[in-house]
Copies of this chain bind each other. A is one copy, B any other.
């Protein structure tokens, strides 16, 4: 039976009208869409949801509770909770005191400032923080960064007062920056530190910190100020005659003890208190040992006198007029971001375990306030370190009251117990740091990255080697895409994705109307005469010309293949736009060019499943009329059906499908 062309077109139109067409969403007023995208960008978690439809007084209470979560949970606080928090608080205090002293040494600050930093900030966090498990304290990486960044400008041993002032100023700006990020809803900046970079950066920083401890372990007097592996090794092996065996033996013993307890606690989580108590036990044992053997006379350095008394105020030390202000600000911002990244990640993961929510931006405000308050009360940068928070969680803490207990314990120490640390050997502090740092080197995670994603592994390793062989700052530049996006390895993948999106050919899955990539599904079979291409990224100026070239290469290759096999000729090119989330004007031009290209080769361009953004812009740019609205389908399957229909009918009726000119298509639409 031979159909006339007219009949065929009527049949085609009737098929077309019976199915659902691609909807063009109604045009929205510009400011409405603008407002809604602003909201999605800055308030994705919709923090003001609970404020809706409330009385003003209720709103005030809710607002107060938003900034001071303690007001929310304190009324519900019970004695049961207190018992649990008391035990957890004492446990973390026993960890906080030796760690505080050790990390302060790492930051080139007098040890007492480590204790000060474990007193005020936990109290602030207890009021403002929303995590129930986070234990506040100083961290090794931020301490090391402070020492290395400030140390470049000011020598801590020659000019201790200025150094101290800059440390407080840096802490102040870290706090201001953190709080500002929270207020401005820019918390997502922290997310730019990818998991892979954090693994690499943390392991690198831990390696560097361990290397620095060789000074303490070997009892060396002089040591390089650089942190890279080469300098440190040269420094260590350049003065082998200065090594003190007493110090080394003591250090190795305590290190062994600490690693053993960590190992035990890891195997049996309910014995967490063994490793939690180990540092304090080591300090006590070490001090007693020195006291009774007078080892301090034989090359074992001790902490010496710690001033009794609570934190002295330090707001007058904030050096806003100093010529080194820029360094302080830079140090503050960088350490602040690192501290935030750790603190927020820790808070989130424990919240996940206990099934409650942490608002990242709110936490940033809490961290910021805690550091601003800290900088005025002789504290340096604090955050929520993972190790201490894990002990807190394991010890069964219920609320942030455990931080208050810890602060109280530190307060008692500051008021009465500081003389007890006189004989504490520095080498014990080094052992404590090393044993804590070894836990940060996560071989498992690196191996997992290698298995799962080679690119992430490269990112991780670049950050690691950047820190170990270069400096902490070099590692950071590699890690933090915001600093120098051009050289950031981790940003490269995102750039590659938007410049080189993947295109794949789809084929029909047997016994279904579904079309999937022929690379992924070996059962998928190509449709003769129809090339179905899937684009898996938004079409922007960054990839528009790549896509134009790639699509025309697909068409060339398909035509070559068909020519050599001598089967049917190519007649239709279907673009599956299902994964094209958005398109800009360069992308629209690209589609127009592809349209011209296919027209010139007497091919018909068909679109399938354009999303709302895409169809709206196709509509506005009149490209829908160019392609013909009947050639824009909801599904790939329907598009193929329409092509097949035309292909077979026309083949029997009047030869190949005539390429429609623009005017014809428009006539059809009238």
Contact = CB atoms under 8 A, between A and B. Distances in A.
Interface in A19-43: 19-20, 23, 25, 30, 34, 40-41
A651 interface: no
Contact of A195 (B352, B452, B586): B586
Given A195-B541, A517-B611, A520-B611, A46 B553 contact: yes
B40 A521 contact: no
A617 B485 contact: no
Interface string A505-537: 000011111101101111100000000000011
A586 B352 contact: no
Nearest to A545: B191
A39 to B, nearest CB: 11
A130 to B, nearest CB: 14
Interface string A228-263: 000000000000000000000000000000000000
Contact of A579 (B30, B498, B579): B579
B519 A612 contact: yes
Contacts of A589: 195
Interface string A311-353: 0000000000000000000000000000000000000100010
A256 B467 CA distance: 66
B497 A620 contact: no
Interface string A589-618: 100010011001000000001011001010
Nearest to A451: B620
Given A196-B585, A517-B611, A581-B536, A549 B44 contact: yes
Nearest to A552: B357
Interface stretch (A364-372, A488-496, A562-570): A488-496
A612 B520 contact: yes
A542 B494 contact: yes
A129 interface: no
B494 A540 contact: yes
A422 interface: no
A629 to B, nearest CB: 16
B490 A541 contact: yes
A621 interface: yes
A360 interface: yes
A45 B549 contact: yes
B578 A191 contact: no
Contact of A538 (B25, B486, B497): B497
Nearest to A593: B352
Which of A355, A490, A546 has the most chain B CB atoms inside 10 A of its CB? A546
B455 A584 contact: yes
A291 interface: no
Given A41-B496, A490-B541, A25 B195 contact: no
Given A191-B541, A519-B612, A541-B195, A617 B452 contact: yes
Contacts of A579: 536, 578-579, 581
Interface string A538-578: 10111111100110110000000000000000000000001
Which of A454, A482, A512, A589 has the most chain B CB atoms inside 10 A of its CB? A512
Which of A511, A541, A582, A634 has the most chain B CB atoms inside 10 A of its CB? A541
A92 interface: no
A537 B581 contact: yes
A188 interface: yes
A406 B540 CA distance: 38
B40 A500 contact: yes
A545 B490 contact: no
Nearest to A30: B454
Give the top 8 A-B pairs by smallest Cβ distance, nearest first: A194-B541, A536-B581, A579-B579, A520-B612, A195-B586, A485-B485, A456-B585, A191-B545
23 contacts: A20-B510, A20-B521, A20-B523, A23-B522, A40-B502, A44-B500, A191-B545, A193-B541, A194-B542, A194-B586, A195-B584, A352-B593, A355-B600, A452-B617, A452-B620, A453-B585, A485-B486, A494-B542, A497-B498, A498-B498, A514-B634, A520-B615, A537-B538
Given A19-B512, A360-B549, A536-B611, 12 more contacts: A25-B520, A41-B500, A191-B546, A192-B541, A352-B596, A352-B597, A493-B540, A497-B582, A514-B635, A516-B634, A519-B612, A520-B612
